[in-house]
Amino acid sequence: MKAVVIGSGSWGSGLAQVLADNHVDVTIWGKDEHEIADIRDHHRNEKYFPEVELNHDIKATNDIAVVKDADIIILSVPTIAIEDVCRLITPQLTKKTIIVNTSKGFHPETNERMSCVIRENIPAQYLSSVVSLIGPSHAEEVVLRMLTTICAVSLNEADAKTVQHLFSNQYLRVYRGNDEVGSEIGVAIKNAIAVASGILSGIGYGDNTKAALITRGLAEMIRYGTAMGGRLETFMGLTGMGDLIVTCTSVHSRNFQAGYQIGKENSAKDFWEHNTKTVEGVRTAKVIHDIAKEKQIDMPIVDEVYKVLYENKEPLESARDLMSRELKPEIN
Ligand X SMILES: NC(=O)c1ccc[n+]([C@@H]2O[C@H](COP(=O)([O-])OP(=O)(O)OC[C@H]3O[C@@H](n4cnc5c(N)ncnc54)[C@H](O)[C@@H]3O)[C@@H](O)[C@H]2O)c1
Which residues are annotated as catalytic?
190
Instruction: Please report, as residue ranges, which positions from 164 to 193 form the binding site for ligand G3P (by CB under 6 A).
Output: 191
Near ligand G3P by CB under 6 A, which window of 120-128, 248-256, 291-299, 315-323?
Answer: 248-256
Q: Of ligand X, ligand G3P, none, which one sits near residue 7, judging by CB under 5 to 8 A according to partner kind?
A: ligand X
Amino acid at position 262, single letter? I
Examine residue 17 and tell whether it contacts ligand G3P (CB under 6 A).
no
The Cα–Cα gap between 157 and 163 comes to: 10
- Nearer to ligand G3P (CB atom), residue 162 or residue 247: 247
Provide DSSP, 40-61.
HHHS--TTT-TT-PPPTT-EEE
Pick from 107, 113, 119, 138: which binds ligand G3P (CB under 6 A)? Answer: 138
Examine residue 253 and tell whether it contacts ligand G3P (CB under 6 A).
yes
Q: Of ligand G3P, ligand X, none, which one sits near residue 35, judging by CB under 5 to 8 A according to partner kind?
A: ligand X
How many helices (H) and strands (E) the chain has is answered by 14, 8
DSSP 8-state symbol, 109: T
Could you tell me if 75 and 6 are in contact, meaning their C-beta atoms sit under 8 angstroms apart?
Answer: yes
Binding site residues, ligand X, CB under 6 A: 7-12, 30-32, 35, 48, 76-79, 81, 84-85, 102-105, 137-139, 278, 280
How far apart are CB 210 and ligand G3P at their closest, in Å? 15
Examine residue 148 and tell whether it contacts ligand G3P (CB under 6 A).
no
Task: Kindly compute the dihedral angle of the four CA atoms of residues 160, 281, 35, 54, in this order, to the nearest 10 degrees.
Answer: -50
- Nearer to ligand G3P (CB atom), residue 138 or residue 307: 138
The Cα–Cα gap between 269 and 113 comes to: 29
Length of the chain: 332
C-alpha 110: how far from chain center: 18
Of 239, 317, 312, give the one whose Cα is nearest residue 273: 312
Summarize the annotated binding site as residue ranges: 7-12, 31, 48, 104, 135, 137, 139, 190, 243, 253-255, 277, 280
